[in-house]
Structure 1
Amino acid sequence: MSGQIYGIRAILEAIEAEQPINKIFLQKGLKGDLFRELEVTLKKKRISCSYVPIEKLNRLTRNNHQGAVAQISPVQFHNFESLVENVVQNEEKPFFLLLDQVSDVRNFGAIIRTAECCGVHGIIVPKTGAAPITDDTVKTSAGAVFNVPIAKVDHLKDAIFYLQSTNISVIAATEKTEEEIYDVNMAGPTAIVMGAEDKGISPSVLKLVDGSAKLPLLGKIGSLNVSVACGVFLYEVVRQRRK
């Protein structure tokens, strides 16, 4: 499962070795040249970090952490462009899922599980703001996290442009549309975009998609949990393709 690396130099070496780092916790108020080097490297590599009290770091590890603890992902992430290229070359109808700032690890795990069951060829998430892959993610996914390729990108917008350049239609799941899910053609090469639990899909991403669709809500509650909504969208793609 996921593990930890502690100590500034050890973390710098892990970054250099391209270890799949989920997140880094840094001690508030810490100074020093090596610490500054780590901060600069994290910013350059767009690795998420949080500044926390030393008590938090002491709870994370009993070892000499030197003011820095990194959480390592239990899975290796795929190169986005290589993943898309491979799928396009080998699959008649590529099927991708993009997650825009989905931050809850259990929702992430549930989404991965459904994606695997629906035959999704790859999940794409941003490097910052997305839920990490933790032990809870692995458990909630029922192990599906090891079967579905996951790629991290600097910006989802660039990923959308790249998918569109390979003739993959990008469809946003959003209530900000008049089109219902059952009226949108998703039988061909398709990428579905799901938004964050609280904010939905960001406006800058919505401007780029090829189409959008919403779920009909017939009760008094105004929205579904993102993992449930995602399941409905993914299985609608499956339904359309089985016609």
Structure 2
Amino acid sequence: MKNTQQIYGIRAVIEAIKSNEPIDKVFIQKGLKGDLSKDMETLIRKNGISASYVPIEKLNRLTKNNHQGVVANISPVAFLTVEELVENVLDQNKTPLFLLLDQLSDVRNFGAIIRTAECTGVDGIIIQKKGAAPVTADTIKTSAGAAFRVPIAKVDHIKDAVFYLQASNIQVVAATEKTENTIYDVSFKEPCAIIMGSEDVGISPSILKAADHMAKLPLLGEIGSLNVSVACGVFLYEVVRQRQELLK
């Protein structure tokens, strides 16, 4: 299994960005100064790369090497654009199934979702460039290697992906408790994409408004929600159940 790679040093990070390496996150020392660091930060912003400003102690824990105030994590998998992902799937003449993750932040939840996505025939997963859980060695391990098999696309904002999918005649279904409709009231037999929200706040209100349908899971106990990876699995297997009915 290929682990997440780390690079350090301002020039190394600049060259990695210019070479289109799949950088998940950059850690920058608070108060870092100099023209070269400004050039690096401009590149980071221009390319929509997630960055955090941290104390030097954090960088020292990340690497024992001379980091010059910056450490970057390179993902073990390559990412597509949403256009590449959708066009590749539509060219296959199948009924597409996509998964959108709105600000999911836990790498193990992410890995578990990727694993279930592979098992249920999901054609691709779409995440946001900033704020989303990175693809780390833990993600790969939790996914049981499925992260190498399910294409992943990154977008500036999940709403951009929603609009692009809708323009491609793919209905978008939001998994949320803020509706009276359950997953059994929604048809997943057509081309569709399911949005799952973050662990703490769910799907952003603006994205909920943009979705074609909203659906919830019926909860019969006292606890008001399921773990997001478990909920995602239930949604995806409802898609499998409905689509298998078409084959009978």
Q: TM range, normalised to the smaller chain?
A: over 0.9
Aligned equivalents of 2:140 and 2:200: distance in 1?
Answer: 23
Instruction: Tell me the residue number matched to 1:229.
Output: 231
Instruction: Tell me the residue number matched to 2:104.
Output: 102
Structure 1 runs, 4 residues or longer, greater than 2 Å off: none
Instruction: Tell me the residue number matched to 1:57.
Output: 59
How do 1:178-217 residues align onto structure 2 when only pairs under 5 Å count? 178-217=180-219
Q: Indicate the SS of the match to 2:91.
A: helix
Instruction: Tell me the residue number matched to 2:124.
Output: 122
Instruction: Tell me the residue number matched to 2:159.
Output: 157
Instruction: Tell me the residue number matched to 1:8.
Output: 10
Instruction: Tell me the residue number matched to 1:24.
Output: 26
How do 1:26-45 residues align onto structure 2 when only pairs under 5 Å count? 26-45=28-47
Matched positions, count? 243
Q: Indicate the SS of the match to 1:78.
A: coil
1:149 deviates by 0.1
Amino acid aligned to 2:69: G
Aligned equivalents of 2:140 and 2:122: distance in 1?
Answer: 17
Amino acid aligned to 2:102: D
Aligned equivalents of 1:36 and 1:92: distance in 2?
Answer: 47
1:208 deviates by 0.7
1:92 deviates by 2.1
Deviation per CA, 1:65-107: give whole Å up to 9, x if none: 1100001101011122011011012132000000000000000
1:222 deviates by 0.4
Task: Pick from 68, 72, 84 the counterpart of residue 74 of structure 2.
Answer: 72
Aligned equivalents of 1:164 and 1:30: distance in 2?
Answer: 43
Aligned equivalents of 2:242 and 2:27: distance in 1?
Answer: 45
Show structure 1 runs of 5+ residues with no match.
none
Aligned equivalents of 1:88 and 1:99: distance in 2?
Answer: 20
Aligned equivalents of 1:78 and 1:131: distance in 2?
Answer: 16
Amino acid aligned to 2:81: N
Amino acid aligned to 2:105: S
Instruction: Tell me the residue number matched to 2:179.
Output: 177
Amino acid aligned to 2:241: R
Instruction: Tell me the residue number matched to 1:241.
Output: 243
Q: How does the TM-score come out when normalised to structure 1?
A: 0.98
Residue identity (%): 70
